[in-house]
């Protein structure tokens, strides 16, 4: 593969990891975890440790199988093509459901700047679909342009996090910071399972570099470094920012907000500062949207080249962009947005979040099993496996059942691919 076909170095790959994680989840999550109090802190620690273990197993598998086009192709090579097709398809489902959730998050913060975006569920749905298609067209211009956008937005999206951290440190220094009683006034220790599932969603994206391994130079070295550095950095930011907001505002007030970062900054520094943060929070979500639109095209391309999907799924344009995967995923994401247009923005996002998390977990489970089968990173794989099962249970019966049913739709496509060989 030529250098042009591998445009991502270590820093661009790290930007993919950071950009895929920081976007929608952290800018909405304070509204969901506020009732859990200190239990949310425990959940953060468990989720961060869990995804780092999965990420390490994934990176080591990629290092041992450099001939494979992506982490999904690795699972197919280790566990068999049928399993690879099923979990790869399930993860692809989590891609376009995440695109819907992330675009909705961006619209929520744009609504803090211009109320039209959140004036009604229909307005929110139109704006969400518009963002999805804007970045679909951008990614159809080629992976190099998408990667350049990712690096730029990754730098910008750190600004609201740093801004909030500054306020949290100021509150702590002025002794104005507050914290709930241990373990909290909400569900207490019984809520840990649900809290782990919630804190897992904003961490989804740690695997982004492994999913585009075909585009990364020296993947055996750069995927491991990008995954570990990016996940550790984002995890630390999440703990400080997420708990800082949740602990310093009334839980019921945070839970009712569609833009908790803006609410937090407005409370302590006024509306002007809140709008400033809303701008960069929207940019952050847009950067994550760009990342996941890229992945939703690259993933089926890698699966096609591994023989897990029909050949027509891997068609590319003159810019080497996987147009079929991009277009189909964006159509499905738009249909998901349209199907929830009668709900409030927060309820529509909650549905997309649960479906995204449960769909991704089937892929994470396969990565852990593949590590055990290949005897790669045995201890991390053995620890991450029960974590995945626990989080899948925490996602709830409805979301897990939907993700399983959607995953099974891969079987006829896989049979089609087998007939072509």
Residue tagged 């930011």 (tokens): 237
Round to whole Å and give the CA distance between 347 and 223: 35
Q: Using the 8-state DSSP alphabet, how is residue 388 labeled?
A: H
The pTM of the full predicted model, rounded to 2 decimals, is 0.79
Residue spans of the domains in the chain: they are: 3-420
What is the DSSP secondary-structure string of 219-269? HHHHHHHHHHHHHHHHHHHHHHHHHHHHHSS-HHHHHT-S-HHHHHHHHHH
Least reliable range by pLDDT among 115-129, 205-219, 221-235, 282-296: 205-219
Structure tokens at 141: 């211009």
| pLDDT for position 1 | 44
Reply yes or no on whether the pLDDT at 217 is more than 90.
Answer: no
CB of 73 within 8 A of CB of 306? yes
Structure tokens at 68: 């494979």
Reply yes or no on whether the pLDDT at 410 is more than 50.
Answer: yes
Q: Which of 249, 281, 284 is nearest to 268 (CA)?
A: 249
* pLDDT tens by residue, 141-183: 765 665 566 566 666 777 788 888 888 888 877 766 666 666 5
| pLDDT for position 385 | 95
* pLDDT tens by residue, 27-64: 777 877 777 878 888 899 999 999 999 989 988 887 78
Round to whole Å and give the CA distance between 358 and 94: 8
Reply yes or no on whether the pLDDT at 350 is more than 80.
Answer: no
Reply yes or no on whether the pLDDT at 202 is more than 70.
Answer: yes
CB of 223 within 8 A of CB of 59? yes
Reply yes or no on whether the pLDDT at 332 is more than 50.
Answer: yes
Round to whole Å and give the CA distance between 159 and 172: 20
Contacts of 230 (CB under 8 A, 6+ apart): 14, 16, 17, 18, 21, 206, 209
Local confidence band at 345 (pLDDT 50, 70, 90 cut-offs): low
| pLDDT for position 145 | 60
Local confidence band at 344 (pLDDT 50, 70, 90 cut-offs): low
Round to whole Å and give the CA distance between 301 and 296: 9
Round to whole Å and give the CA distance between 133 and 144: 18
Round to whole Å and give the CA distance between 24 and 108: 10
Round to whole Å and give the CA distance between 213 and 16: 11
What are the helix and strand counts (H, E) for the chain? 18, 0
Q: Which is higher by pLDDT, 101 or 149?
A: 101
Reply yes or no on whether the pLDDT at 299 is more than 90.
Answer: no
Three-point CA angle 164, 166, 168, nearest 5°:
70
**Architecture category of domain 3-420 in CATH:** Up-down Bundle (1.20)
Residue 191 Cα distances to 37, 45, 174, 182, 359, angstroms: 10, 15, 32, 13, 22
């Amino acid at each position: 593969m030529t250098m042009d076909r591998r445009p991502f170095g270590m820093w661009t790959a790290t930007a993919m990891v950071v950009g895929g994680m920081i976007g929608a989840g952290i800018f909405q999550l304070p509204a969901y975890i506020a009732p859990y109090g200190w239990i949310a802190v425990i959940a953060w620690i468990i989720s961060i440790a869990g995804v780092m273990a999965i990420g390490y197993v994934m990176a080591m598998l990629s290092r041992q199988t450099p001939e494979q086009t992506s982490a999904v192709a690795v699972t197919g090579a280790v566990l068999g093509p049928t399993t690879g097709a099923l979990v790869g398809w399930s993860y692809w489902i989590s891609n376009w459901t995440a695109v819907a959730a992330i675009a909705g998050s961006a619209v929520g913060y744009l609504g803090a700047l211009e109320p039209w975006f959140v004036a009604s569920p229909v307005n929110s749905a139109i704006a969400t679909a518009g963002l999805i298609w804007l970045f679909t067209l951008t990614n159809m211009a080629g992976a190099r342009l998408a990667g350049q956008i990712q690096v730029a937005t990754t730098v910008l999206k750190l600004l609201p996090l740093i801004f909030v951290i500054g306020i949290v440190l100021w509150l702590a220094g002025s002794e104005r910071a507050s914290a709930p009683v241990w373990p909290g006034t909400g569900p207490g220790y019984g809520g840990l399972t649900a809290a782990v599932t919630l804190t897992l969603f904003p961490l989804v994206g740690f695997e982004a570099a492994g999913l585009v391994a075909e585009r990364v130079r020296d993947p055996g070295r750069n995927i491991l470094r990008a995954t570990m550095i990016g996940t550790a950095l984002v995890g630390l930011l999440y703990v400080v920012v997420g708990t800082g907001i949740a602990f310093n505002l009334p839980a019921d007030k945070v839970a009712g907000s569609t833009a908790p970062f803006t609410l937090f900054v407005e409370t302590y520094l006024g509306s002007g500062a809140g709008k400033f943060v809303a701008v960069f929070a929207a940019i952050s979500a847009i950067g994550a949207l760009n990342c996941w639109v890229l992945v939703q095209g690259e993933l089926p391309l890698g699966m096609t080249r591994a023989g897990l999907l029909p050949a027509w799924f891997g068609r590319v344009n003159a810019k080497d962009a996987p147009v079929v995967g991009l277009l189909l995923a964006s159509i499905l994401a738009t249909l998901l947005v349209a199907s929830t247009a009668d709900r409030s923005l927060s309820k529509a996002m909650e549905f997309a979040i649960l479906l995204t998390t449960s769909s991704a977990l089937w892929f994470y489970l396969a990565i852990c099993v593949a590590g055990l089968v290949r005897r790669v990173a045995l201890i991390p794989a053995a620890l991450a496996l029960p974590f995945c099962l626990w989080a899948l249970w925490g996602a709830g019966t409805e979301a897990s059942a939907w993700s399983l049913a959607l995953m099974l739709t891969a079987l006829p496509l896989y049979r089609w691919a087998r007939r072509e060989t």
